[in-house]
Chain A
Amino acid sequence: KAGVTQTPRYLIKTRGQQVTLSCSPISGHRSVSWYQQTPGQGLQFLFEYFSETQRNKGNFPGRFSGRQFSNSRSEMNVSTLELGDSALYLCASSRADSSSYEQYFGPGTRLTVT
């Protein structure tokens, strides 16, 4: 079974621009979560999508948004990029049934903002 895939793997953007990152979950997984990883703040939860609805959100500004499609694929968008948005963005998928809470992570998208 294929794992979680994320595209692109690397991205360089300029301050003020916006960016969209994509995530394809493991087949059959309906929950997709996004995390930001930085050397200073570590791993932080951004948001979770399930059945095309955001059902959980971390403590990030409104510049960070996401969506999920009917095939469970997800995108996250960051508008008006700031230097501090440089990070590894990780997507994770989960089966979303009550017996399974582990999340499986993709390789991440490394975003550099200059």
Chain B
Amino acid sequence: AQSVTQLGSHVSVSEGALVLLRCNYSSSVPPYLFWYVQYPNQGLQLLLKYTSAATLVKGINGFEAEFKKSETSFHLTKPSAHMSDAAEYFCAVSRHHTGRRALTFGSGTRLQVQP
């Protein structure tokens, strides 16, 4: 069984500050991991993915995440927050070894950016 835990349902940062959104996973096999962002009244947009290549993954909009097997973590970071980053962020894990594509999502973290 797989699961994803996102610590902190709400995170507030000042514009220009570091963004750190936490994600820990549980998987019986090496996981594929994803971060998605959801803006109000929209679907999910893929930010970045980890699929067993480089452990430091760069995504869109200046976000990156580091896969740490020893800590079972895949935290999302951005050096400098922008007002447009305010949204809800979801970490997800995939059971890739079965060839199937069901994603298990965390409960989400709402990021607020203060001017």
Contacts and interface: CB of A to CB of B under 8 A. Distances in A.
Interface of A: 4, 31, 33, 35, 42-45, 48, 55-56, 58, 90, 92, 94, 96, 98, 101-108
Given A45-B103, A92-B103, 15 more contacts: A33-B101, A42-B105, A43-B92, A43-B103, A56-B98, A56-B102, A58-B102, A96-B101, A101-B32, A101-B94, A101-B101, A103-B46, A103-B103, A105-B43, A106-B43
Contacts of A102: 34, 46, 49
Where chain A touches its partner, the secondary structure class is strand
Interface residues of B, number: 25
A80 B44 CA distance: 28
Contact of B100 (A44, A48, A104): A48
Interface of B: 32, 34, 36, 42-46, 49, 51, 90, 92, 94, 96, 98-108
B36 A105 contact: yes
